């Protein structure tokens, strides 16, 4: 009896290529996939990530096997913490028979917060971006990026005005390349603690009074925000290099104020 026809389908991707040009990144982009995460409090949360997964292709190989990237996502696994994400990178490189590659994932990340006076709880969302990468012959590297919504209040407006000061919602961004695994929670807290005031999903009137007065007593320019966050990042031994950004969505202008500061920790 003859074998089924599909047993003899040629594997074109594994064929030789005579152009002899290595490709630094080849894979899949724009993959939307559900993820189960383990946050810093040990809480399991479900989210949907947009992923880019790629490997380096040797110059003698014609193509990679695109379906294998999705197979990695389909593997059963425990809720992902930092170690689990790095293990997923290892699994991808092994499955694709590659010695270097990268996984980039962006997703909404939720933390449960208590209002400062009433104590009512609500969830607040943050945008998180994680890049897992390895170059040939080197250790895997994890880069974590967060964007935290915060309040900023203008020191100049407070100084020159008799009745108050203008404030605005701001986006504080941190991108940190790590020496040791680190979840987004710690970076989020640094951003919130260095703002004029953090924001909350749910506030009662006593809480609203508290956050208004907190911001008024803690005015910061966009320059102050990035410098104060930078000082915190410089003291964090788990971080190798970092970039902090702040965009203040001005309430008295039709444009944003912006600042960016980067550094490398010794």
How confident is the model over 152-203, as pLDDT tens digits? 999 999 999 999 899 999 999 999 999 998 889 999 999 999 999 999 999 9
Would residue 14 count as lying in a domain?
no
- How sure is the predictor about 42, in pLDDT bands with cuts at 50, 70 and 90? confident
On the question of pLDDT at 89 being above 90, the answer is yes
Residue in 170, 160, 164, 182 with CA at minimum distance from that of residue 220: 170
Instruction: Decide if pLDDT at 124 tops 80.
Output: yes
Confidence of residue 99 (pLDDT cuts 50, 70, 90): very high
Q: Which domain holds residue 87?
A: 24-264
Q: For position 114, which CATH number holds?
A: 3.10.270.10
Residue 6 resides in a domain: no
> What's the pLDDT at 5?
57
pLDDT band at 2 (very low <50, low <70, confident <90, very high): low
pTM of the model: 0.89
39 in a structural domain: yes
Establish if 3 belongs to a structural domain. Answer: no
Report yes or no on 235 lying in a domain: yes
| Count of the separate structural domains present in the chain | 1
Q: Would residue 8 count as lying in a domain?
A: no
Are the C-beta atoms of 43 and 110 separated by less than 8 Å?
no
Residue 7: pLDDT band by 50, 70, 90 thresholds? low
Residue 17 lies in a domain: no
Q: Classify residue 73: in a domain, yes or no.
A: yes
Average pLDDT on 116-130 reads 97
């Amino acid at each position: 009896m003859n074998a089924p026809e599909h047993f003899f389908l040629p594997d074109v991707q594994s064929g030789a290529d005579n152009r002899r040009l290595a490709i630094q990144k080849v894979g899949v982009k724009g993959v939307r996939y559900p993820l189960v995460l383990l946050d810093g409090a040990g809480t399991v949360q479900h989210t949907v990530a947009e992923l880019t997964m790629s490997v380096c292709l040797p110059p003698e190989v014609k193509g990679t096997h695109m379906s294998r990237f999705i197979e990695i996502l389909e593997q059963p696994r425990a809720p992902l913490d930092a170690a689990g994400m790095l293990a997923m990178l290892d699994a991808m490189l092994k499955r694709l028979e590659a010695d270097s590659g990268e996984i980039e994932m962006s997703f909404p990340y939720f933390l449960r917060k208590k209002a400062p006076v009433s104590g009512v709880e609500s969830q607040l969302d943050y945008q998180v971006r994680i890049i897992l990468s390895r170059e040939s012959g080197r250790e895997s590297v994890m880069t974590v990026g967060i964007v935290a919504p915060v309040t900023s209040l203008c020191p100049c407006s407070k100084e020159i005005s008799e009745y108050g000061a203008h404030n605005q919602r701001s986006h504080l961004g941190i991108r940190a390349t790590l020496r040791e695994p680190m979840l987004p929670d710690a970076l989020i807290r640094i951003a919130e603690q260095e703002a004029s005031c953090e924001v909350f999903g749910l506030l009662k009137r006593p809480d609203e009074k508290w956050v208004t007065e907190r911001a008024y007593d803690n005015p910061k320019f966009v320059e102050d925000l990035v410098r104060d966050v930078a000082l915190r990042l410089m003291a964090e031994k788990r971080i190798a290099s970092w970039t902090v950004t702040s965009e203040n969505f001005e309430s008295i202008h039709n444009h944003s104020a912006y600042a960016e500061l980067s550094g490398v920790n010794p």
